[in-house]
């Protein structure tokens, strides 16, 4: 990953199990709204709220993410969390990416409204907010009117580094996609065709053939 002096880089972390059009649309909206030079997708190793057996093996999630973003010249994928191993914490992700991107790169962490409302439960939230500006993408059913109350003193300290971005509601979730696949229902137009083909070829999520 090349250092870009003075670049504005968006970082989108997630389990991506699987990645879907909701992730991609949010990333593209953030890139355009905040004049970001590129977006780095970072598949998580083991999310702190799950164990290793609850998530699809990392190699599949990484390759699905790679396939999903390859048509966008502004998107790329990092293995930083996968190569570190163990439980993935955002503070470690940002610290490692800072080393790779250099001190002059402006980092913007893109996350969902549901996640930003729970940031106090993250590991070292004050450090996280100091390492990158945050772009909180609104999602269906999650309002941000209570953000100040949810963050408490952290909001007063870091409110200038937290930006709200409204995107058209898509209502797509990885959980629903996994459920649809397990039930033999179609997920076309919910995930990129390349991801759909990979899922089918690898027999992921209980898929046994073409849907």
Q: Where are the domains of the chain?
A: 8-170
Question: pTM (2 decimals)?
Answer: 0.92
pLDDT of residue 6: 78
Given a cut of 80, whether residue 176 has pLDDT beyond it is yes
pLDDT of residue 142: 65
User: Mean pLDDT, the chain, as a whole number?
Assistant: 91
pLDDT of residue 104: 94
| Whole-angstrom distance, CA of residue 211 vs CA of residue 206 | 11
The CATH code that applies to domain 8-170 is 3.40.50.620
The confidence band for 69, taking pLDDT boundaries of 50, 70 and 90, is very high
Taking the alpha carbons at both ends of the chain, their separation in whole angstroms is 37
The confidence band for 211, taking pLDDT boundaries of 50, 70 and 90, is very low
- The answer to whether 174 and 15 have CB atoms below 8 angstroms apart is yes
């Amino acid at each position: 990953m090349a250092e870009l002096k003075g670049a504005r880089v968006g970082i989108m972390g997630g389990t991506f199990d699987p990645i879907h059009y909701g992730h991609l649309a949010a990333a593209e909206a953030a890139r355009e709204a905040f004049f970001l030079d590129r977006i780095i997708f970072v598949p998580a190793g083991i999310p702190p709220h799950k164990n290793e057996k609850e998530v699809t093996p990392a190699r599949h999630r990484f390759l699905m993410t790679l396939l999903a973003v390859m048509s966008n010249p502004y998107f790329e994928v990092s293995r930083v969390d996968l190569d570190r191993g163990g439980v993935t914490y955002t503070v470690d992700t940002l610290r490692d990416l800072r080393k790779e991107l250099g001190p002059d790169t402006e980092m913007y962490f893109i996350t969902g409204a549901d996640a930003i409302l729970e940031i106090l439960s993250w590991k070292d939230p004050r450090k996280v907010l100091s390492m990158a500006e945050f772009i909180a993408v609104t999602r269906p059913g999650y309002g941000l009117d209570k953000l100040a109350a949810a963050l408490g003193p952290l909001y007063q300290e870091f409110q200038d580094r937290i930006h709200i971005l409204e995107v058209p509601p898509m209502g797509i979730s990885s959980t629903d996609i996994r459920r649809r696949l397990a039930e033999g229902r179609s997920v076309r137009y919910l995930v990129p065709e390349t991801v759909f083909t990979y899922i089918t070829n690898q027999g992921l999520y209980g898929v046994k053939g073409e849907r």
